[in-house]
Structure 1
Amino acid sequence: MKIRRVVAGTGADGKAKFLSDGAAPRSALFTTVPGFAAALLWATDASDSVGTGAVDDRTCEAGFVPESGGTRLMMVTFPPDAVMMRADFDGAAFGAEFGRLVPGLAETFEPDHPGMHTTDSIDYDIVLEGEITLELDDGAQVLLRRHEVAVQHGNRHAWRNLGDKPATMLFVLVGARRAGGRG
């Protein structure tokens, strides 16, 4: 997944300037699931500030789930679920690759319930291309199409591509504290 990322900020002279323009440094095409791709495009911490003349690019070392007050911007392409239903699908190899390429997020997935996960974040989920189904823990589902948006509040969920074409989504995760003290 090759994505151009342009970063702008404020220079030391107080004027807006382009700080970088090039390929997003943290993009991955999965080998265990053809068509599955993920890219972490930007990461912030709660302590970040603007207008300082410097921008901290935490993208390369950050996990995919932010701490409280932090943010993550990522793009994911989901192949049709049928790709993972093939007889030659190696779930263990996919799990290992997912853990290596998407650290922080991979650990939120439930081994006994494929695809189900929960993050301590408010998520803005935008469908850029294709169609995808958002499934909640009680089995309720809603189909989202191109340019439709879901907002999630730390709930347990899974993404299901029940169609025959890839679906590409943009996710903005805003780290939040979970009621009851977790997170």
Structure 2
Amino acid sequence: MQIRRIVAGVGANGRSQVFTDGVAPRAVEFESAQGFAAALLWATSAGEVLGQGAVADRTGQTGFVPAAGETLLMFVTFPPDAVMMRADFDGAAFGAEFAQKVPGLAERFEQDHPGMHTTESIDYDVVLEGEIMLELDDGAQVLLRRHDVAVQHGNRHAWRNHTDQPATMLFVLMGARRAG
């Protein structure tokens, strides 16, 4: 997954400038689940301060789930579910690769309910291409198509691609604290 990322900010001279223009540094493709890919495009820390001079790139210093007050921007491409239902699919190899390539998020997935996970974040989930099913723990399933948006508030969910085409999504995660 090659995604061009341009980072702009305010230079030392007080004027707008491009600091970087290139391939997103944390883009991964999975060998154990062909067509599955993720890219962490940007991350901010809690209390991020705008200023002049170089912009801090935190993408290499964070996992794929933000802490309270932090944000993450990422793309994920989901292959059709059939890829992971094939007789030769190695779930253990995929789990190990997922943990290595998508740290922080992989640990949120439930062993007994494949795909189900919960994060302490408010998520803006945008379908860029394809269609995908949002499955909730009460059994509800909501079909999302291109340009549909789901907003989630720390709820347990899974993404299911019942089609024969990949689905690509843009996610903005904003770390939050859970009540109680």
Q: Which bracket does the TM-score occupy, shorter chain normalised?
A: over 0.9
Query: Residue type matched to 1:120 in 2?
Result: E
Q: How far apart, CA to CA, are the structure 2 residues paired with 1:49 and 1:111?
A: 39
- 2:166 match: 166
The Cα of 1:10 is off from its aligned counterpart by: 0.5
The Cα of 1:45 is off from its aligned counterpart by: 0.6
Is 1:155 the counterpart of 2:166? The answer is no
The Cα of 1:60 is off from its aligned counterpart by: 1.2
The Cα of 1:153 is off from its aligned counterpart by: 0.1
Query: Residue type matched to 2:38 in 1?
Result: A
- 2:93 match: 93
Query: Residue type matched to 1:53 in 2?
Result: G
- 2:80 match: 80
The Cα of 1:61 is off from its aligned counterpart by: 1.9
Query: Could you report, residue by residue, the CA deviation over 1:71-111 in whole angstroms, capped at 9, with x for unpaired residues?
Result: 00000000000000000000000000000000000011001
The Cα of 1:52 is off from its aligned counterpart by: 3.1
Q: Structure 1: which 5+ runs fail to align?
A: none
Q: Spell out the pairing of 1:4-153 with structure 2 (5 A cutoff).
A: 4-153=4-153
Query: Could you report, residue by residue, the CA deviation over 1:19-78 in whole angstroms, capped at 9, with x for unpaired residues?
Result: 000000000010000000000000111132112323110101210000100000000000
Q: Secondary structure at the match of 1:104?
A: coil
Q: Percent identity?
A: 74
Q: Secondary structure at the match of 1:107?
A: helix
Q: How many corresponding residue pairs?
A: 180
Q: How far apart, CA to CA, are the structure 2 residues paired with 1:50 and 1:64?
A: 23
TM-score by length of 1: 0.97
Query: Residue type matched to 1:12 in 2?
Result: A
Q: Structure 2: which 5+ runs fail to align?
A: none
Query: Residue type matched to 1:59 in 2?
Result: T
Moved over 3 A (4+): none
Query: Could you report, residue by residue, the CA deviation over 1:110-151 in whole angstroms, capped at 9, with x for unpaired residues?
Result: 010000000000000000000000000011000000001000
Q: Secondary structure at the match of 2:60?
A: coil
Q: Secondary structure at the match of 2:134?
A: strand
TM-score by length of 2: 0.99
Query: Residue type matched to 2:72 in 1?
Result: R
Q: How far apart, CA to CA, are the structure 1 residues paired with 2:16 and 2:78?
A: 36
